[in-house]
Amino acid sequence: MELRHLRYFVAVAEEKSFSRAASRLHISQPPLSNQIRDLEAEIGAPLFHRSPQGVTLTESGRSLFKNARLLLASSDRAIREARELGLPAQPNVLRIGTSPTITTSSLRLLLKAFLKEKSDTRLVFSSINTGEHKKALLQHKIDVNYMTHPLGDRRIRFRQLREENLCVVLPHDHSLASRDFLQWKELKNEQWVLFPRDAVPYVYDVFLSECRKAGFRPRISEESDSYVMKYPLVEAGVGISIMPESSKEHLTPDLRSVAVRPAIKIPVGIAWVRTTKAIREFVSFAEAFQENRG
């Protein structure tokens, strides 16, 4: 039995479907089914009840599932720690990634308070396009990322600090730009400029879900993983877009943000991969800072 067998098994158990697990693992379904059959043969017991509706765990499967997750977590931790030993030690440097529009007053207050308490820590900032967050973290180009959504990758940890609403961004001369708030159904005839789904899967999915509830599927005219390109497209009338409410302080005079109801709340927090002393201190401080602010 190899670790990959357990990863395949856990994926099927969590997805409750061979096809969804194969998609998550980026392999085709037949090899995945063969690997699970090999695992069942080695154990000597079926691990899944199979039906046209999906799969459920047998008693043997439930026992293995619990232990397999613990083993995989331990293995991942051991690999991370071994990798960290091979990286240059910079105990007093913390590299923080942010999006161009998420460097808001709340982040500035957090960093000011952190530096006051940890005056021996040097902060190095990188402004990163939304679509590059995951790669920057996994390649250890940054230590933590302050962002508005989980990345949907099990290798990346995310600690939510607060929530904020999404709002709609429109050209200043748009017929709806003067409104105090909008209903989602009022936007059914609009063209949209959005980030690609793989850049912001959480935000993309909740946005699509709310549109469906309002009775329409958004017509996406352009996709861009860069705010530098996204907002000029909105200004030019290519389409309207969405953004975190706190980011409106970055809008140009040619753009307007309008609240939308029902409100979509998105998590704002910190993402990281490695677990170093500096990262642990920053995450703990950020949590305490947010709790004190209410």
Provide the CATH number for the domain around residue 281: 3.40.190.10
**Do 172 and 241 share a structural domain?**
yes
State which of 37, 58, 85 marks the end of a domain: 85
Name the pTM for this structure: 0.60
**Do 254 and 282 share a structural domain?**
no
**Do 210 and 75 share a structural domain?**
no
For residue 174, the Cα-to-chain-centroid distance in whole angstroms is 31
**Do 60 and 186 share a structural domain?**
no
**Do 280 and 153 share a structural domain?**
yes
**Do 198 and 60 share a structural domain?**
no
Q: What is the pLDDT along the chain (294 residues), one digit of tens a residue?
A: 677 788 889 999 999 999 898 888 888 888 889 889 988 888 888 999 999 888 999 998 888 888 888 777 776 766 665 555 555 545 578 899 887 556 567 788 888 899 888 888 888 888 776 667 888 888 888 999 988 776 677 888 989 888 889 999 999 999 999 999 999 999 999 999 998 887 777 888 999 999 999 999 999 998 876 665 678 889 889 999 998 887 777 788 899 999 999 999 988 889 999 878 888 889 999 999 988 876
Q: What is the dihedral of CA 101, 105, 111, 112, to 10 degrees?
A: 150
Going by C-alpha positions, the residue among 265, 268, 243, 267 that lies closest to residue 256 is 243
Residue 61 contacts by C-beta under 8 Å, 6 or more apart in sequence?
A: 13, 46, 47, 48
**Do 275 and 141 share a structural domain?**
yes
Question: Between β-strands 181-183 and 255-261, what pairing exists: parallel, antiparallel or unpaired?
Answer: parallel
Residue 66 contacts by C-beta under 8 Å, 6 or more apart in sequence?
A: none
For residue 108, the Cα-to-chain-centroid distance in whole angstroms is 22
Q: Any bridge partners for residue 222, and if so which?
A: 193
Domain CATH for 68: 1.10.10.10
Domain with 142 in it: 93-161+267-293
State which of 50, 85, 120 marks the end of a domain: 85
**Do 273 and 252 share a structural domain?**
no
Domain count, the chain: 3
**Do 194 and 138 share a structural domain?**
no
Q: Any bridge partners for residue 94, and if so which?
A: 123
**Do 195 and 152 share a structural domain?**
no
Residue 202 contacts by C-beta under 8 Å, 6 or more apart in sequence?
A: 149, 150, 151, 152, 266, 267
**Do 280 and 155 share a structural domain?**
yes
**Do 26 and 141 share a structural domain?**
no
First-to-final CA distance of the chain? 49
